[in-house]
Copies of this chain bind each other. A is one copy, B any other.
Amino acid sequence: MRRSGSRTAPPEPSPEGTPVAEPWEELKRLLTEGRRDEIVPFLASLATGETARAVNRLDDEERHALLTMIQPEEAAGLLDALPDLEAAGMIEDLSAREAAAIVEEMPSDHQADLLGDLEDREAQAILDHMAPPRATTVRRLLGYESETAGGLMIAEYLAYPDSGTIGDVVEDLRAHGELYSGYNVQYAFVVAADGRLAGVLRVRDLLLSPAHTVLRNIMLPDPLRVPDSAPLDGLKRFFDEHPLFGVPVVDPDDRLVGIVRRAAVEEALRHRATRTFLAMSGLVGEEELRTMPLRARSFRRLSWLSLNIVLNVIAASVIALYQDTLSAVVALTVFLPIISDMSGCSGSQAVAVSIRELTLGLIRPYEFMRVVVKEGAVGILNGVILGILLGALAYAWKQNIYLSLVVAAALSINTVVAVLVGGLIPLLLKRLKLDPALASGPILTTVTDMCGFFFVLSFATVMLGRLT
């Protein structure tokens, strides 16, 4: 276990770039030969990422065999190492009874996450096969919004009545030690008779206090807590400020309902960052893995591409209005995509600065004027420089000063438009309670394309006599 930092690094491929044998080939072999005793030790021998990759390469039948050949407890651990959608897909291919046996072995927050990823009907069938108290707990967790304290909490925690004694607690811990060891619990809480969170116990108190001490008299009263509706960003700030591994969650009546672990908040933040990255790249909805069926992958991508083609046609329709100018000065066609793309880049930079300043809290969504002043200045400076650059290139190519002026002016002005639009869109989207990272790109591109095409072609139309 020493030097874990380097220990868990994935194995380097051999010098030619191709390793000798891929782990999934070995796993397939073990599965087809039915060597169930060797599967778990083999999976345990793989580096962190390799398990997911090996399972990823199995076909549906092999995955089914894998989950049913190993113990439910081991299957639960294996699913935990896989991407969410892949784990959900594997559970769906099992019978409800087989699935329930595996789900029972997970912590309650993972149970809720996994069942939340399934179709309602399938989730219900699995819940019906689970032990009733656990099923009730999971149903309760499924009722919360996913990115809130309620949606992230676990239902496994230690809580004792404030009228109990240290002796009661120590006895309970001894009696259920094995069960509790799976809870990964760091704190024990004290609740009042009506379920309200009253205090927290220190390890030191459990060790050093006489057995007859009443919990109410020794607990740290009024511990930190978060409401079950607390949003993810609030939880992030909470754990930034407090070096704790978990925080109790209370309902509106201040009753203890669960614990949010720091790790769950970190994981949810990573998920959100991934969703943003994928959406910015044109992958809307849940993530895509290349193991998914072709139709599903194609359909998800097309949902964004078909919206994009509409936006593109709108922007390009500006060009259609100036066909006469273009047929007179066909050299302009070279500059249309350059001006559209350059302005898009300038605008993206402004979008990124605005999103960053919104995230850091350096700007509020109503401060439009500040963005106009700050971006306007950069836009004019960069626009003039880029315009001169492109104008010089145009002159070098065609030796027509008027053509140079047209493209230089169009790029300069459109750069100003692009940074203003790019800087303001995130503020506007934020005011409309939309995610700036997701929607800014397409709006920006459509506007800068339309304006860019319009500036080049309308200026050229005015100067038409000088250009031909």
Contacts and interface: CB of A to CB of B under 8 A. Distances in A.
A90 B39 CA distance: 59
A290 B370 contact: yes
Interface string A336-361: 11101110011011011101110011
A331 B333 CA distance: 11
A181 interface: no
Contacts of A242: 4
Interface stretch (A109-117, A128-136, A158-166, A218-226): A218-226
A309 B348 CA distance: 15
A355 to B, nearest CB: 8
A238 to B, nearest CB: 5
B5 A346 contact: no
Given A281-B351, A298-B378, A312 B341 contact: yes
Contacts of A226: 3-6
Interface string A424-461: 00000001000000000000010001000100000000
Contacts of A3: 225-227, 230
A65 interface: no
A175 interface: no
A278 B142 CA distance: 36
Contacts of A53: 361-364
A333 B230 CA distance: 53
Interface in A225-276: 225-227, 229-231, 234-235, 237-238, 240-243, 245, 263, 266, 273-274
The range of chain A's interface size is 35 or more
Contacts of A282: 345, 348-349, 352
Interface of A: 1-6, 8-10, 13, 17-19, 48-50, 52-53, 56, 83, 149, 184, 186, 203-204, 207-208, 222, 224-227, 229-231, 234-235, 237-238, 240-243, 245, 263, 266, 273-274, 277-278, 280-283, 287-291, 294, 297-298, 301-302, 304-306, 308-309, 312-313, 315-317, 319-320, 323, 326-327, 330-331, 333-338, 340-342, 345-346, 348-349, 351-353, 355-357, 360-366, 370-371, 374-375, 377-378, 381-382, 385-386, 389-390, 393, 397, 431, 445, 449, 453
